[in-house]
């Protein structure tokens, strides 16, 4: 890479690189969050909010829309007015833009969509990168430009905008999600002058001139008929045909300006290559290394990197392929089932066929293969495998590389020892999401890349949990450009920032022989060796690792930084790695601390400086014993008792060896067993709640509130205590209805996240010392063994199913087994207690349609799922379709159930004679209570037994297949506010209007929690959120009131912390209501900026201030359907709001705005309260629900059958 005079390197990720160009060249930016593209929108929004101008000196309008479809529509409108417009998206988001993409392209409107390419959900959602999204829109008429690196993401973003203006063809500029979008790399930035040099203002003015104006009105978007549509479609062809030339021209001008030269299809490798690979995207990095390495060995290999994919540059491709080439492998990062080959392969075959011409005698054999789906690692060894295959007698076609396909046998064999790693330094850091390791590594990349004069690259891997997230940061640096677009395997430096990782993770897997191992350890150099598991000792000895320890938590604590160890560990890294002279390193880190944290306060900077200064004094070298000496072993990934699938598949994934699972190990259709989180013992809590039965009042609030189902309550007879382990606690259950029983409150010590919510809600205070409650957080290490034994015993206590302890009470509900347990949600999550309660009330009969979002991630992100089964094997059946369609998805389930149930009832009626009295018993049985449903289950079981032995009547066989649907089912449609208020609002509204018996649970965190806290229409006025950094200025949408407008929809607004019984009642009423039900549940979230240990206390204050009034609109009630369950406001909104950073931060950053918005927000709250109070007085006769098709038709047919 050549360097322009005076150029200054910066370190940014691909998203920022692309967004910085897009922002400068736009007037209208419509955004919507979606991983991994969200950051581009967030940056644009932040820049706009801070008044940063575009290239022409005006600040772009950045608007968040309700969906990607909305963003595309807004972009379409903007370009119709002749504005420069852009948007950012990925995956399903891009697919939602598709109809508008056809329109924008069809109308020859320049615009650019920047895509962090991501897998489109099929058998499963994946947030990671491949080309399935961009390939799905390749027919829209957009030009498509691919970037392979962070530098290219910036440079080709400019080429895309410039070429779109010049060609009038809209552009889709894409780069690989995560691998490029999130990789931090050292690049040369494009200055405003560089950008300006390539943009022709005449083209901008021409665009404006084409914009709609009443001064010179035109009509666009006509409806055309068979007579002219076809011709009109062809009329635009010359514009598309001109695109390759225009793009190359822009690339050439970029090269003239910056020295960085690109071609439509870049070629690297031997000019006399015989074998070559064609691909697009970040895989080019790994492939470049292999081509270089093999060329050095004298092998004649080459690589074509396609940048312009649409219009496909046939001539450029042909020109890029040396005439000596005989074999070409085309690699696609997507799968197109049923196609003769994947898209790039097909295009290359077509291109070579069409251009064969005079060279027809020199036949080029083309094979195609798939790699890297969903960011699957694509390493030099895999590239080498492709070249090796091409060298074989008969190269494989339609192969896969990077997996072991033992089903269709498509995969190429790989030599894992092949490596092209250069002479740079590689470092791997294991940390917790919350300990700042990722942030520190990002800073380290910047320090190395921007100050130490070296090339640097950072890439970050997270596990799938939101609490106790393990992060692995990969850092490369050296004096040569880094193209290694794959994870580090041989690290010269490994740091483990959490000592307890050693017990469950092989953190030294990537350590190269002789590597430095930095360990954050509470044990000093003399003691630490004996504290290591034997597996770790063994690796240290066998790899001759150089071990260093520091008690970083102590250093941080002494510096007044609490748990923030990032700068301490970073200082140690710089000291040990020697990337900079020690003094210079410390001075540089300090400067970066000031730069990064300065705006948070002087004290923050000073304390970090103190920590940096004392870090090295506490860093100790450890003399390692010659042999492993420990008798302690690393914990197995799952207990021995785990079922076969968990042992074979789940355990491998938990160990980080999912890449090694063969195709045959995986389900063919995305179907997985539930109840697997119970086998994943994460052991992440530093403190766990310990029960003091002597003062407990048996209220059950702790179990109800526990977001992780890690605090359990059970009531049982004294005989159940037989065989209880020592230390198992129980007490007399104080109950008139159930005398003589005992109660136990038990923590699941390995599953608890230590969030502290249970202690916060415990209403009991010791008479002797008020800080002592019936539950108290205590060091996990001191209690774990005893609590493990106790919890195992507790699980064996037979569940109480006694009507005297009614399920519609707190105590009653909490004695029911939760069938949602140990999710990976954030510690203290405000959503999960509702789901747990839902399963305790109806878990054995529910089907859940779950919108994409936090709840689908902690609910369905492998390796494990918290959705569980009871002892009878029953439990929630769960599925996630998409983000936008969840209400419709759930309705479909309901319709299917109703149809199948009706069918079963009809068959039952028809076959009543053959079946006997049981048929009518089943048809007429009420199923209103759990007991009645149990009774019906027994009847249906008898029926199934009878049918199993049945004769040849096909109707009996038919009945057998639907008989289970004679038991009442409950459909729950679950999702967050992003879904319900925004992207899924249309569908939700339609389902509410349908009158069908579905239950909708909206977990309202008031932001898009999963993608990082972007504002939704549920975000309240005066709160800040991403995309509303200056405080949301509009009122929160009243979703409940919209639903109430229908009259026959059950609606409840609940907040567990503000009214436990009201919440339980709402769940029961909603489930009982035979029409649509909507529960809007206030869900505290880390995006609120609160101490999550006090999650439910915040809910309480939300209710006390009338910020979140509790109500139930029950159309099944009499007279006054609206019940306002909240008491009069007891505190002003401000008192509640200022305890949450989302409100309080605005008061700090923009006090005048905050004051005005808070006053308006108080008016919102007061007005809504007054409205609700009046509603409570209103008499209303709800509209009739539609006649239930199931009962109606079945009953009538049954009656007819009887009459017959």
Partner 1 sequence: MSDLSTTYLGLQLRTPLVASAGPLTGTVDGVRRMEDAGASAVVLPSLFEEQLTHEALDLHDMLESSLSTGAEAFGFLPEIEHYNTGPEHYLELVERAKRAVSVPVIGSLNGTSPTGWLRYATLIQDAGADALELNIYFLAADPTLSSADVEARYLDLVEAVRESLAIPLAVKIGPFLSSVANMALRLEEAGADGLVLFNRFYQADIDVEELEVTPRLVLSSPNEVRLPLVWIAILYGRVRASLAATSGVHGWEEAAKVLLAGADVAMMTSALLQRGPGHIAEVEAGLRRWMQEKEYDSVGQLRGSMSQQAVPDPEAYERANYMKMLTSYSGKAQP
Where along the sequence are the contacts to partner 1 (CB under 8 A)? 35-36, 38-39, 42, 45-46, 49-50, 127, 178, 433-434, 436-439, 460-462, 464-467, 469, 471, 560-564, 566, 597, 599-604, 607, 765, 770, 826, 857, 1007, 1009-1013, 1024-1029, 1085-1087, 1089, 1141-1142, 1145, 1148-1149, 1151
Written as six digits, the tokens of 659 are: 């890449």
User: What is the residue whose two structure tokens read 């999401």?
Assistant: 433
Residue among 1092, 642, 1086 nearest 864 (CA): 642
Q: Are residues 111 and 104 in contact, defined by beta-carbon separation less than 8 angstroms?
A: yes
Query: Which CB atom, from 485 or from 1011, has the smaller least distance to partner 1?
Result: 1011
Query: Which CB atom, from 314 or from 851, has the smaller least distance to partner 1?
Result: 851
Q: Are residues 15 and 181 in contact, defined by beta-carbon separation less than 8 angstroms?
A: yes
Q: Please tell me the distance from the alpha carbon of residue 877 to that of residue 898, in angstroms, as a whole number.
A: 17
Written as six digits, the tokens of 506 are: 């092989």
Q: Please tell me the distance from the alpha carbon of residue 904 to that of residue 916, in angstroms, as a whole number.
A: 15
Of 24, 86, 89, 118, which residue is the catalytic one?
A: 118
Q: Are residues 1084 and 1136 in contact, defined by beta-carbon separation less than 8 angstroms?
A: no
How many other CB atoms sit within 10 Å of the CB of residue 451? 18
End-to-end CA distance of the chain: 88
Angle between helices 886-910 and 954-962 (to 10 degrees): 140
Query: Which CB atom, from 276 or from 1086, has the smaller least distance to partner 1?
Result: 1086
Of 42, 68, 680, 1060, which residue is the catalytic one?
A: 68
Q: Please tell me the distance from the alpha carbon of residue 1162 to that of residue 1138, in angstroms, as a whole number.
A: 13
Query: Which CB atom, from 233 or from 462, has the smaller least distance to partner 1?
Result: 462
Query: Which CB atom, from 161 or from 1142, has the smaller least distance to partner 1?
Result: 1142
Query: Which CB atom, from 373 or from 805, has the smaller least distance to partner 1?
Result: 373
Q: DSSP per residue over 397-444, as a string?
A: SSEEESS--SSS--BPP--TT-----SSEEEEEEEEGGGTHHHHHHHH
Nearest distance from C-beta of residue 584 to partner 1, angstroms: 26
Of 15, 35, 865, 1019, which residue is the catalytic one?
A: 35
The C-alpha angle 962, 963, 967, rounded to 5 degrees, equals 110
Nearest distance from C-beta of residue 834 to partner 1, angstroms: 20
Secondary structure (3-state) at 116: strand
Query: Which CB atom, from 270 or from 856, has the smaller least distance to partner 1?
Result: 856
Residue among 149, 131, 118 nearest 285 (CA): 149
Query: Which CB atom, from 436 or from 812, has the smaller least distance to partner 1?
Result: 436
Nearest distance from C-beta of residue 773 to partner 1, angstroms: 11
Nearest distance from C-beta of residue 608 to partner 1, angstroms: 9
Nearest distance from C-beta of residue 1013 to partner 1, angstroms: 4
> For 453, left (φ over 0), alpha (ψ -120 to 50), or beta?
left
Q: Are residues 1185 and 1074 in contact, defined by beta-carbon separation less than 8 angstroms?
A: yes
Nearest distance from C-beta of residue 436 to partner 1, angstroms: 5
Element (H, E) at 310: strand 308-310
User: What is the residue whose two structure tokens read 């008499």?
Assistant: 1179
How many other CB atoms sit within 10 Å of the CB of residue 692? 18
CA dihedral of residues 893, 898, 904, 907 (deg, nearest 10) = -130
Q: Please tell me the distance from the alpha carbon of residue 1123 to that of residue 1111, in angstroms, as a whole number.
A: 5
Secondary structure (3-state) at 1025: strand
User: Which of the 8 DSSP states describes residue 326?
Assistant: -
Query: Which CB atom, from 50 or from 1174, has the smaller least distance to partner 1?
Result: 50
Nearest distance from C-beta of residue 32 to partner 1, angstroms: 14
CA distances from 102 to 32, 233, 667 (A): 20, 11, 36
Total number of residues shown for the chain:
1204
Secondary structure (3-state) at 29: strand
Phi, psi of 1193 (to 5 degrees): -65, -40
Query: Which CB atom, from 182 or from 845, has the smaller least distance to partner 1?
Result: 182
1010 catalytically annotated: yes
Nearest distance from C-beta of residue 41 to partner 1, angstroms: 12
Residue among 237, 265, 238, 239 nearest 251 (CA): 265
Q: Please tell me the distance from the alpha carbon of residue 497 to that of residue 154, in angstroms, as a whole number.
A: 33
Q: Please tell me the distance from the alpha carbon of residue 1085 to that of residue 833, in angstroms, as a whole number.
A: 12
CA distances from 533 to 468, 492, 623, 1025 (A): 21, 22, 17, 44
Nearest distance from C-beta of residue 128 to partner 1, angstroms: 8
Query: Which CB atom, from 421 or from 1155, has the smaller least distance to partner 1?
Result: 1155
Of 516, 886, 1010, 1114, which residue is the catalytic one?
A: 1010
List all residues 6 or more positions away from 941 whose beta carbon is below 8 Å from its beta carbon: none
How many other CB atoms sit within 10 Å of the CB of residue 99? 14
Nearest distance from C-beta of residue 470 to partner 1, angstroms: 10
Q: Please tell me the distance from the alpha carbon of residue 1138 to that of residue 1126, in angstroms, as a whole number.
A: 21
Nearest distance from C-beta of residue 24 to partner 1, angstroms: 19
Query: Which CB atom, from 609 or from 1113, has the smaller least distance to partner 1?
Result: 609
Query: Which CB atom, from 127 or from 445, has the smaller least distance to partner 1?
Result: 127
Q: Please tell me the distance from the alpha carbon of residue 957 to that of residue 934, in angstroms, as a whole number.
A: 24
User: What is the residue whose two structure tokens read 């039952």?
Assistant: 908
Q: Please tell me the distance from the alpha carbon of residue 1124 to that of residue 172, in angstroms, as a whole number.
A: 51
Q: Please tell me the distance from the alpha carbon of residue 1170 to that of residue 1126, in angstroms, as a whole number.
A: 12
| Positions marked active-site | 35, 68, 118, 1010
């Amino acid at each position: 890479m050549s360097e322009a005079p005076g150029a200054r390197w910066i370190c940014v990720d691909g998203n920022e690189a692309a967004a910085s160009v897009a922002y400068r060249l736009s007037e209208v930016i419509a955004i919507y969050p979606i991983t991994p593209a969200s950051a581009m929108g967030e940056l644009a929004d932040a820049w706009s909010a801070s008044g940063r101008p575009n290239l022409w000196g005006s600040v772009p309008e950045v608007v968040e829309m309700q969906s990607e479809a909305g963003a595309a529509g807004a972009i379409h409108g903007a370009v119709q007015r002749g504005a420069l417009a852009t948007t950012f998206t990925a995956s399903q988001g891009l697919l939602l833009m598709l109809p508008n993409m056809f329109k924008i392209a069809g109308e020859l409107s320049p615009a650019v969509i920047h895509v962090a390419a991501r897998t489109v959900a099929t058998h499963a959602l994946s947030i990671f990168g491949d080309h399935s999204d961009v390939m799905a829109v390749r027919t829209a008429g957009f030009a498509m430009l691919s970037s392979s690196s962070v530098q290219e993401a910036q440079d080709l973003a400019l080429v895309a905008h410039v070429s779109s203006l010049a060609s009038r063809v809209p552009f889709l500029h894409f780069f690989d999600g995560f691998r490029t979008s999130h990789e931090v790399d050292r690049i040369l930035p494009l200055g405003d002058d560089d950008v300006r040099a390539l943009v022709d203002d005449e083209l901008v003015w021409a665009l404006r001139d084409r914009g709609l104006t009443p001064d010179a009105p035109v009509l666009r978007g006509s409806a055309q008929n068979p007579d002219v549509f076809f011709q009109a479609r062809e009329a635009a062809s010359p514009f598309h045909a001109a695109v390759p030339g225009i793009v190359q021209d822009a690339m050439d001008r970029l090269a003239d300006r910056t020295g960085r030269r690109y071609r439509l299809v870049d070629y690297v490798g031997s000019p006399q290559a015989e074998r070559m690979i064609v691909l697009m995207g970040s895989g080019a990095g790994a492939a470049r290394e292999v081509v270089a390495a093999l060329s050095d060995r004298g092998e004649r290999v080459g690589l074509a990197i396609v940048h312009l994919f649409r219009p496909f540059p046939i001539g450029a491709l042909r020109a890029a392929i040396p005439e000596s080439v005989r074999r070409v492998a085309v690699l696609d990062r997507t799968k197109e089932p049923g196609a003769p080959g994947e898209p790039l392969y097909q295009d290359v075959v077509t291109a070579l066929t069409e251009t064969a011409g005079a060279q027809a005698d020199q036949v080029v054999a083309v094979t195609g293969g798939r790699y890297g789906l969903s960011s699957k690692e694509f390493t030099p060894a895999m590239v080498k495998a492709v070249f090796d295959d091409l060298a074989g007698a008969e190269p494989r076609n339609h192969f896969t590389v990077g997996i072991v396909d033992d089903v269709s046998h498509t995969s190429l064999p790989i030599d894992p020892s092949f490596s092209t790693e250069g002479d740079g330094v590689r470092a791997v850091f294991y940390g917790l999401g919350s300990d700042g390791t990722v942030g520190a590594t990002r800073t380290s990349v910047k320090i190395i890349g921007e100050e130490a004069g070296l090339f640097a690259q950072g890439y970050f891997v997270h596990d799938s949990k939101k609490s106790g997230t393990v992060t692995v940061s990969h850092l490369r640096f050296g004096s040569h450009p880094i193209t290694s677009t794959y994870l580090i395997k041989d690290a010269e430096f490994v740091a483990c920032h959490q000592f307890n990782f050693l017990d469950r993770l092989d953190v030294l897997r990537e350590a190269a022989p002789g590597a430095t191992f930095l360990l954050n350890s509470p044990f000093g150099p003399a003691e630490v060796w004996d504290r290591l598991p034997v597996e770790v000792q063994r690796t240290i000895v066998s790899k001759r690792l150089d071990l260093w320890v520091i008690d970083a938590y102590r250093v941080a604590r002494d510096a007044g930084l609490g748990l923030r160890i990032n700068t301490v560990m970073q200082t140690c890294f710089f000291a040990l790695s020697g990337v900079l002279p020690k003094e210079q390193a410390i001075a540089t880190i300090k400067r970066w601390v000031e730069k990064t944290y300065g705006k948070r306060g002087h004290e923050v900077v000073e304390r970090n400086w103190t920590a940096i200064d004392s870090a090295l004094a506490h860093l100790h070298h450890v003399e390692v014993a010659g042999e492993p000496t420990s008798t302690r072993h690393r914990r197995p990934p799952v207990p021995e008792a785990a079922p076969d699938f968990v042992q074979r598949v789940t355990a491998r994934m938990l160990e980080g060896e999912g890449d090694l699972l063969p195709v045959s190990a995986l389900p063919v259709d995305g179907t997985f067993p539930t109840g697997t989180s119970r086998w994943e013992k994460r052991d992440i809590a530093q403190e766990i709640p310990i029960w003091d039965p002597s003062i407990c009042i048996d209220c059950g609030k702790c179990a109800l509130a526990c977001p992780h189902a890690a605090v359990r309550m059970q009531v049982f007879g004294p005989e159940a205590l037989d065989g209880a382990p020592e230390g198992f606690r129980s007490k007399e259950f104080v109950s008139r209805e159930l005398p003589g029983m005992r109660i136990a409150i038990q923590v699941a010590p390995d599953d608890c996240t230590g969030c502290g919510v249970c202690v916060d809600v415990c209403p009991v205070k010791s008479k002797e010392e008020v800080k002592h409650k019936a539950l108290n957080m205590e060091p996990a290490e001191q209690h774990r063994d005893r609590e493990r034994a106790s919890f195992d015993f507790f699980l064996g206590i037979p569940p109480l199913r006694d009507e005297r302890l009614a399920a519609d009470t707190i105590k009653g509900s909490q004695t029911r087994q939760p069938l949602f347990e140990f999710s990976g949600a954030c510690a203290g999550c405000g959503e999960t207690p509702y789901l747990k309660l839902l399963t305790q009330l109806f878990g054995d009969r529910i089907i859940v349609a779950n919108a994409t979002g936090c709840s689908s991630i902690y609910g369905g992100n492998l390796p494990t799922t918290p959705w569980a089964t009871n002892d009878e094997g029953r439990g929630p059946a769960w599925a996630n379709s998409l983000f936008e369609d969840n209400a419709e998805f759930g309705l479909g389930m309901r319709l299917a159930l109703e149809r199948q149930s009706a069918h079963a009832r009809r068959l039952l009626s028809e076959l009543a004679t053959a079946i006997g009295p049981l048929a009518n018993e089943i048809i007429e049985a009420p199923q209103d209570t759990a007991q009645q449903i149990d009774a019906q289950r027994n009847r249906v079981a008898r029926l199934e037994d009878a049918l199993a032995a049945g004769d040849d009547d096909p109707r009996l066989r038919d009945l057998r297949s639907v008989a289970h649907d004679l038991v009442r089912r409950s459909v729950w449609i679950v999702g967050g506010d992003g879904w319900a208020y925004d992207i899924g609002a249309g569908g939700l509204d339609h389902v509410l209007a349908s009158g069908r018996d579905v239950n909708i649970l909206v977990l309202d965190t008031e932001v898009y929690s999963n993608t990082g806290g972007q504002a939704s229409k549920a975000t309240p006025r005066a709160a800040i959120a991403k995309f509303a950094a200056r405080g949301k200025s509009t009122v929160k949408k009243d979703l409940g009131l919209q639903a109430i407008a229908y009259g026959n929809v059950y609606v409840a607004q609940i907040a567990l912390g503000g009214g436990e019984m009201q919440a339980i009642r709402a769940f029961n009423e909603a489930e009982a209501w035979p029409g649509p039900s909507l529960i809007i549940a206030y869900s505290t979230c880390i995006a609120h900026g609160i101490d999550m240990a006090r999650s439910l206390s915040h809910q309480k204050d939300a209710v006390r201030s009338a910020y979140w009034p509790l109500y139930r609109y029950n159309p099944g009630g009499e007279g006054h359907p609206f019940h306002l369950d909240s008491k009069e406001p007891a505190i002003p909104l401000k008192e509640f709001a200022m305890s949450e950073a989302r409100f309080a931060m605005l008061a700090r950053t923009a006090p005048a705005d905050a004051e005005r918005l808070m006053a308006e927000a108080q008016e919102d709250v007061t007005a809504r309260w007054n409205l609700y109070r009046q509603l409570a007085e209103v008499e209303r006769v709800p509209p009739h629900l539609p006649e239930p098709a199931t009962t109606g038709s079945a009953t009538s047919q049954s009656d007819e059958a009887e009459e017959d």
